[in-house]
A and B are shown apart, each in its own frame.
Chain A
Amino acid sequence: SQTIHQWPATLVQPVGSPLSLECTVEGTSNPNLYWYRQAAGRGLQLLFYSVGIGQISSEVPQNLSASRPQDRQFILSSKKLLLSDSGFYLCAWRDRGLGNTEAFFGQGTRLTVV
């Protein structure tokens, strides 16, 4: 069966510090991968999606970047965090082979920038 791992679960970082969040998927090949952010009391905002190694599409201009160095690994990064980067970050995967399948989410990372 497929599983998705996301870490760390919580993170407190000072303004101006770098960020690296990692997500890995097991049990599937060539998935579509997504990074979402959820601000407190809000819906999920799509940040990045990837259809393959090295292929990243950005949805919203921002202080973040994403990379996909391996087929089942997706990384969210920032060189210098802003207070507005605080939120609940969720990684998700979908099976690319079937057109309309649902997204499966990792456990999320709660990031607080102080």
Chain B
Amino acid sequence: QKEVEQNSGPLSVPEGAIASLNCTYSDRGSQSFFWYRQYSGKSPELIMFIYSNGDKEDGRFTAQLNKASQYVSLLIRDSQPSDSATYLCAVCRRYSSASKIIFGSGTRLSIRP
């Protein structure tokens, strides 16, 4: 079982609609959770982070975390063509002297005009 699992997509959403991206993780010791956006050929950039159960909103983005179900999601409201990218879910767990961030394989999102 992969540590972080995402549906690879592609997920196609019409412009202006809500895009919903999902992620599950296997390690209950995971402490923090991140969503990164990656455009083709570029390095990932942080969109959202969440540490506590529930919802966290930032502009058009809402991250949702359910630690009991080991599930984290990202909602993008009013989707724009510029949101077309690969979205990477990442989880962080602290080990003895360091913390590691493990990434999922990413979901490709395509916003159609």
Interface residues of A (CB under 8 A from B): 32, 34, 36, 42-46, 49, 51, 57, 59, 90, 92, 94, 99-100, 102-108, 110
Contact = CB atoms under 8 A, between A and B. Distances in A.
A37 B102 CA distance: 12
Given A34-B101, A57-B98, A102 B46 contact: yes
Given A44-B44, A102-B34, A105-B43, A49 B100 contact: yes
Say whether chain A's binding surface is mostly helix, strand, loop, or mixed.
strand
A44 B92 contact: no
Given A57-B98, A108-B43, 11 more contacts: A43-B6, A43-B106, A44-B88, A46-B103, A90-B43, A90-B44, A99-B32, A102-B34, A102-B101, A103-B101, A105-B44
- For the complex of A and B, the 3 pairs showing the least CB-CB separation, nearest first, are A43-B105, A100-B32, A44-B103
B31 interface: yes
Contacts of A45: 103
A94 B49 CA distance: 14
